[in-house]
Amino acid sequence: MATDSDTIKHADDDLRPLIDRSLRHPVMFFFTSAAAWLAVALILGIVASAKTHAPEFMGNVGWLVYGKAYAAHLNTLVYGWGCQAAFGVIIWLMARLSRKECRNPGTILLAGHVWNFAVLYGVIAILSGGGTGVPWMEFPAAVWPVLLISYVFIMAGSVVQFRCKEGGHTYISQWYLLGAIIWFPWVFTTANILIFNFNGHPVMDAGINAWFKSTLILLFFVPVGVAAAYYLAPKVTGRPVHSYALAQMGFWALAVIGPWTGMQKLAGAPIPQFLPYVGAAATVLFFIPAVTVAVNILKTVAGHASTVAASPTLRFTIAGIFGLLALGVMGVCLNFPAGLRFSQFSIAGYGFEILAIYGCFSMCSFAAMYFIVPRITRREWLSRRFISWHFYLSAYGVATIVICTIGGGLMQGAAQEYWNMPWSDAATRQYAYGWGTTVSWLFILFANVFFLLHLLLMWARLGRRSQHPTLLHQHHSESPHGPEGDIDEIQAANA
């Protein structure tokens, strides 16, 4: 049936530009506003981190007092950058994989603006002293319903596309995307209603908050990153995914294990005893889906080292997959019964969050952005150098942060356990690691300012008008993309 597959292929060739064009404005809106929020989050992160070792740094600025700056840093990182980057990736990937154009770009754009204003309001409220004091949920309690409603409008189209998709086959990425689409509102609504609207026991509220943080990472950010990796790795290398069975196992392992995690933060607190230990056990077991996914993706690109080195997309994907692997290993080290007492109240917890959000999810999102943006703007990335700076500063920066916070956190935790030594010993032990974290955040900020600039230029459609993708190494004398030339002219000539 060669003719049939040929017809489908031609139909797909026609359909792809239509899908890309229908999603151009919403996706670019999410990517650029996410990148802008990332810059804000990084600046706040630098201020907060500097204050851990230099407490008088900006000491007279009341709205940037450490606790507020730290809360604003994480909330902008999660809701400003993380969620919006995920939205852009989800709506584009879902449309492409379901072979459906976006029918409601206007609604998505409007909902996206509402989301941004809600985040802005929330951040201003935190900095001006109106935070709720619930970690990762510091926005005033009036903000979460607004976020939830705009989320529903952003995602509704993707669910409809999936339900009436063409071709019948469900690709691996779609499982993860659909999972993330469903898990996010479930987790988000449960946690917010139980903590802010119902009159629960204060200690159980703290437990639910810990569950919320962990499940948001493992059931929203990680699946979106993995979905992008499962799409990009085979796409760029031109090879099928290594093992379908492994992919299936990885997905269901995550679905089974993920929802139990988180409450180990309350080990020793007066809540039902099994909760923290179930949470610790599940976080240790997260190693299984992490390794399964990592092996599958790495096997898919195995033997394509030069493609990985040349393609910005693939490089970021592989970095994100190594981030996932590190996340799995850290889940074991930090939550093993012997390790939990050292990590529970040290900066290692922050290191784990940054590893998940920046080291795993963000690297995969950058990969997706380097792939998606040229397709929807029909322009290629301008500068190879910007991309490689972005890559090296991000990868080495986040690796240093993770080493400083997790290594330093365990040192700090050990000092806390020496109960007969003065407290100052435990308190001062993290200062050196704080320095390392601040400097690394500076490098990451530097990387992302270039990224934001690059993205804004692409948004303004000032990218290269070429049909050759921007690669980090050019070692083909003949390009598989045909002769170099202006993409519009070549396509007009072909038509």
CA dist 225 and 319 (Å) reads 11
CA dist 10 and 132 (Å) reads 54
DSSP designation for 483: S
Nearest to 52 by CA among 414, 404, 449, 330: 404
Instruction: Report whether 229 contacts 293 (CB < 8 A).
Output: yes
Choice between 141 and 305, CB closer to other proteins? 141
Q: What is the DSSP string of 333-383?
A: HHHSHHHHHHHTTSTHHHHHHHIIIIIIIIHHHHHHHHHHHHHHHT-B-S-
Choice between 272 and 303, CB closer to other proteins? 272
Give me the least distance between CB of 137 and other proteins, in Å please. 10
Give me the least distance between CB of 409 and other proteins, in Å please. 8
Three-state secondary structure string covering 190-202: HHHHHHHHCCCCH
Give me the least distance between CB of 132 and other proteins, in Å please. 6
Choice between 128 and 479, CB closer to other proteins? 128
Choice between 300 and 346, CB closer to other proteins? 346
Choice between 427 and 460, CB closer to other proteins? 427
Q: What is the DSSP string of 276-332?
A: HHHHHHHHHHTHHHHHHHHHHHHHHHTT-HHHHHH-HHHHHHHHHHHHHHHHHHHHH
Choice between 65 and 309, CB closer to other proteins? 65
Number of Cβ atoms within 10 Å of the Cβ of 201: 10
Choice between 110 and 193, CB closer to other proteins? 193
Give me the least distance between CB of 342 and other proteins, in Å please. 9
Choice between 258 and 469, CB closer to other proteins? 258
Give me the least distance between CB of 206 and other proteins, in Å please. 4
Give me the least distance between CB of 167 and other proteins, in Å please. 13
CA dist 213 and 261 (Å) reads 9
Give me the least distance between CB of 60 and other proteins, in Å please. 6
CA dist 353 and 351 (Å) reads 5
- Tracing tokens 């003719």 back to the chain, one arrives at 3
Give me the least distance between CB of 152 and other proteins, in Å please. 18
- Exposed / middle / buried, residue 104 (Cβ in 10 Å: 0-12, 13-18, 19+): middle
